[in-house]
Structure 1
Amino acid sequence: MKIKKDEVKLLLLTYLLCMALFTNLAILKDDVDKGALYMGLIVCALITATQILIRKFYPHGDKFLIMFACILAVIGIAVLYRLDTSVAIKQLAWFTGGVIAFIFLVVAIPDVRDFGKYEKIYLIMTIVIMPMALLAHQETYGATNWVTIPGIGGFQPSEFGKITFILYLASALQKYEDKSNIAEDFRQLWKPALVVMYALGCLVLQKDLGSALIFFGIALTMVYLATGKKKYVVICFVLFVIGSVIAYNLFSHVRVRVQVWKNPWKYIDTGGYQIVQGLYAISSGGMFGSGLGQGYPGFIPVNTSDLIFAVICEELGMVFGLGIMIIYFLFFYRGMRAAFRVKDRFSMLNTVGFSAMIACQVLVIIGGVFSVIPLTGITLPLISYGGSSIVTMFFALAILQKISEED
């Protein structure tokens, strides 16, 4: 009963946050912006529809997962509306599509455990998806990680590659058995190891180091949970360091990113401008922010995707930013909690993989914004603008929701 009360409280707080943000946006102009109020009501209606359908037909799953996702999406759409109304409308459309996809998958997937036998299909899909951006030869901010379809728009194949990559590793590693013989261990792990190297190799060639870090974090977490052996973690780290050194020496784009990371102020007129402006924005916002609509996000390059967290910290404050990070942590915690409650290994490894995907993506982009690691062009899950990212996140969320319902 207490859980249901907590769910209701969180839902009411989500509505309150949504209307507070959009009401604030509406009164920023001399004439009240009714479009902001309408958008807030539409978002609340979508959240309500999702909650009603999930609670009515699937009452036993973890409801906090979808609520955390809705909170993050509310913040993202509101901040995007403040930056660019047209972008916010597109994000709302993607959010609507993501919610529909989430509900469809939850209804359509009978039991995640039944999909553990399709290892070869996941392998083929991963092999096909990962090099697609290389074949397209479309460079964006120094990386070749986008594919554009005329008349439709662009997407990042690596976003969908994450899904097939996790499904493949879960399917392959579920059969792992602890062997004292190294040769027998090698026979079980050589194929997944080659797939991991293949995926990372494609991303390095695309110069998409942010995604490479995420794929590495996913693989490392899943391999350790599947085998329980620290030596494989050490081997993975050593190979990743070697690969990083090779990438640093091969690609000038990587060298520039590292040099800018080491001293962004030295390169402020070139590659360091984005990081420096983000840090200035965060510092000017302080603990409680300058207020929604009162900052200067126009000085921050790529503020709707890569550096949207800097915009949030400037106008809503570091306290608000810390709250967002706590929500991501709770998201990760609920996912890992489900992983240790299920008995099926395929379900467990999927949950670990998708939870690690979210955690790694958050750590990589926020670490880049604060210049803890080199800045990479990836999205902040459910907050940054990006259709591929939204669809991927709701697919992962649907899988986590279904697994949370398993006995």
Structure 2
Amino acid sequence: MADSPASSAPPAAPTGRGRTTELVLLVCALVLVSVALLLVETSQNQTITLDLFKFVGAYGGLFAAAHLVIRRYAPYADPTLLPAVAALNGLGLVMIHRLDLGTARPDELLTATEPTSNADQQLLWAVLGTIAFSATLIALRDHRTLARYGYTLGAAGLIFLAIPAILPASLSEINGAKIWIRTPFFSIQPGEFSKILIIIFTAAFLVSRRDLFTTAGKQFLGIDFPRARDLGPILAAWVITFGILGLETDLGSALLLFATILVMLYIATERVSWLLLGLGLFASGAVVAYFLFSHLQVRIDVWLDPFATYETTGYQVAQSLFGLATGGLFGTGLGSGRPNIVPFPNTDFILTSFGEELGLVGLAAIFMLYFIFVMRGLRTAVAVRDSFGKLLAAGLSMTVIIQLFVVFGGVSKLIPLTGLTSPFLSYGGSSLLANYILVAVLIRISNAAREPDAPKPRPKVQVEAMPTQVVKRT
């Protein structure tokens, strides 16, 4: 029997790619940022000038360009990833601009300082970040290509991570942490880029050695622990972590890197034993490091009681707690607080600045944007077909939420202060550039996960070539 016209016709091309949804959400983010900026200007008694519209226009143009790049090179990507980033980056720009205005008001400062214009610099970094995002998305047509260079990228990540440690303090140390490469023209924090490279290497390594990590070892208390000879990766991560902590006095990067690798190990093996081993190694290493490194002792002492050293080392955390308490449930109002009293209000303590002026409700809304980004990233990890893509998407997503936990835990005294910055919100070029590259890789994986399979052409069989069979009537 001949096929009907309906069954022989090729399947219709998918219509719902999500780009219209993405565009609508980007417009919502633009409206949110514009309203927030107007509230800041009104609260600070500023005159609405053409510069304000230039600021909003530049922000809108950035993400319009990013949207067009996605529409062209990753048309099936998740439509909520870029808008979540746009909202976070835009709110960060608004808060940095608000803090710039506060530096010109003596009533918001304890000691007079020079007025700053960090928002203009941050907008420039956002432009460079968007360029890096677009270049990554255009150059990386298939995320599986990264797996071929996993060991090379991992070695490069370790080299970048180690460079500040071997440089003299004059070229690598800022505010007590040797995590920078300083030049007469700019400063860069290589650890931000190393984080992505090491995650790529970890995903490639775990996929290539899957049987090694799922092999059962000895059982203890009902839990299968790996064999001793299989502990190399977690021991290497442990050594790297505390090497960073000792040589670069960087507790935040050490904690972030170790936690991310540990989570990826658990995702790859689904064995609780890896988590228990990792936590045990970290706890034992932390105890040893406490007695070896004086800077870690200071961090722990401040964490236990910041008010005991309020005039010196405890001042930052104490003022952060005062700021969060002042904000209460709904905050003092955007532009109506005194966030500049807290040291580093636009970098390490920008969450405190939001907490004071937007309150718990505003912070919860910002956290929800992060959770949306991370949940959609994890959904990408579930949907993508290849194991490398699953681990890479999960690692990139989890490192964002782990960093958010470490940052807020530090400013709220839940854990010792680490010195990390909030992704997309805080002032700083290295963090913003690296996170835009992270988003580009995640969007590339998302496109692969959501892209429909190409229809296979049905072979045309000539009637005279079809087999025949004699049927006898019974």
CA distance in 2 between counterparts of 1:349 and 1:37 reads 42
Aligned residue among 170, 174, 182 for 1:148: 182
Distance 1:63 1:2, change over 3 A: closer
CA-to-partner distance for each residue in 1:270-298, whole Å, 9 max, x for gaps? 11111111111111122222122211122
1:360 Cα offset (Å): 0.8
Are 1:60 and 2:76 an aligned pair?
A: yes
Matched, 1:216 2:275: no
Conserved? CA contact 2:93–2:425, under 8 Å: yes
Change (3 A) 1:343 1:235: same
How big is each residue's C-alpha offset from its partner over 1:165-217, in whole Å with a ceiling of 9 and x where there is no partner? 10111111012113236799666652x33541343133211121111111111
Match of 2:120 in 1: 89
Distance 1:197 1:219, change over 3 A: same
The one-character-per-residue Cα deviations of 1:337-374 (angstroms, maximum 9, x if unpaired) are 11111121111111111111101110000111111011
Between 197-206 and 108-117, report the one with greater CA deviation: 197-206
Shift of the 288–2 alpha-carbon distance from structure 1 to 2, 3 Å rule, reads: farther
Note the aligned Cα RMSD (angstroms): 2.0
Q: How does 1:88-167 map to 2 (within 5 A)?
A: 88-136=119-167, 137=169, 138-151=172-185, 153-167=186-200
Q: Which digits, 9 at most, give the CA deviation of each residue in 1:291-328, with x for residues without a partner?
A: 22211122110111010111111122221111011111
349 and 185 in structure 1: CA distance in 2 versus 1, 3 angstrom threshold? farther
Tell whether 2:364 aligns with 1:364: no
Unaligned residue ranges in structure 2 (runs of 5+): 1-15, 101-115, 219-224, 450-474
Residues 123-182 of structure 1 deviation map (CA, whole Å, 9 limit, x = unaligned): 32133122111112333333222221222x222221111011101111110121132367
Please give the alpha-carbon distance, in whole angstroms, between the structure 1 residues aligned to 2:302 and 2:412: 13
Per-residue CA distance 1:204-237 (angstroms, 9 max, x = gap): 1112111111111111111011122111111111
Shift of 1:46: 1.3
- What secondary structure is seen at the aligned counterpart in 2 of 1:130? helix
Aligned to 1:332: 374
Is 1:76 matched up with 2:109? no
1:400 aligns with 2:442: yes
For 1:145, give the aligned amino acid: I
Matched, 1:292 2:334: yes
> Which residue of structure 1 lines up, in the alignment, with residue 458 of structure 2?
none
Q: What is the letter of the counterpart of residue 141 of structure 1? A: N
Q: Which moved more, 1:43-52 or 1:295-304?
A: 43-52
Look up the match of 1:193.
Answer: 234
Partner of 2:51: 35
Structure 1 residue 33: deviation in Å?
Answer: 4.1
> 2:66·2:130 contact (CA, 8 Å) conserved in 1?
yes
Check the 8 A contact 1:119/1:168 in 2, yes or no.
yes
In structure 2, relative to structure 1, the CA distance for the partners of 1:208 and 1:30 (3 Å cut) is closer
In the TM superposition, residue 58 of structure 1 has moved relative to its aligned partner by 2.3
Mapped partners of 2:162, 2:132: distance in 1: 25
Alignment of 1:251-330 (within 5 A): 251-330=293-372
Asked whether the equivalents of residues 130 and 202 of structure 1 are also in contact (C-alpha less than 8 Å), the reply is: no
| Partners of 2:355 and 2:257 in 1: CA distance | 27
Q: 1:25 is matched with which residue?
A: 40
Contact 2:150-2:201 within 8 A present in 1 as well: yes
CA contact (8 A) 1:23 1:37 kept: no
- More moved, 153-162 vs 389-398: 153-162
Give the AA of the match of 1:169: T
8 Å CA contact retained: 2:407, 2:420: yes
* Alpha-carbon distance in structure 2 between the residues aligned to 1:219 and 1:55: 32
1:217 touches 1:356 (CA, 8 Å); kept in 2?
no
Counterpart residue number, 1:13: 28
Cα distance in 2, alignment partners of residues 401 and 296 from structure 1: 38
Query: Is the 8 Å Cα contact of residues 83 and 304 (structure 1) preserved in structure 2?
Result: yes
Q: SS at 2:373's partner residue?
A: helix
Letter in 2 for 1:143: A
- Structure 1 residues 257 and 54: alpha-carbon distance in aligned structure 2, compared to 1, 3 A threshold: same
Distance in 2 between residues matched to 1:9 and 1:81, nearest whole Å: 26
| Higher helix content, 1 or 2 | 1
Question: Residue 19 of structure 1 contacts residue 41 of structure 1 at CA under 8 Å; is this kept in 2?
Answer: no
Pick the structure with greater CA Rg. Answer: 2
Per-residue deviation at 1:2? 11
Shift in CA distance, 30/219, structure 1 to aligned 2, threshold 3 Å = closer
* Contact persistence 1:26–1:33 (CA under 8 A): no
Alignment coverage as a number of residue pairs: 405
Q: CA deviation at 1:11?
A: 2.5
Aligned partner of 2:13 in structure 1 is: none
Distance 2:282 2:401 in 1: 19
Inter-partner Cα distance in structure 1 for 2:441 and 2:342: 35
Secondary structure of 1:116's counterpart equals helix
Give the distance between the partners of 2:446 and 2:231, measured in 1 at CA. 28
SS in 1 for 2:296: helix
Mapped to 2, the partners of 1:4 and 1:55 lie a distance apart of 7
% identity of equivalent residues: 33
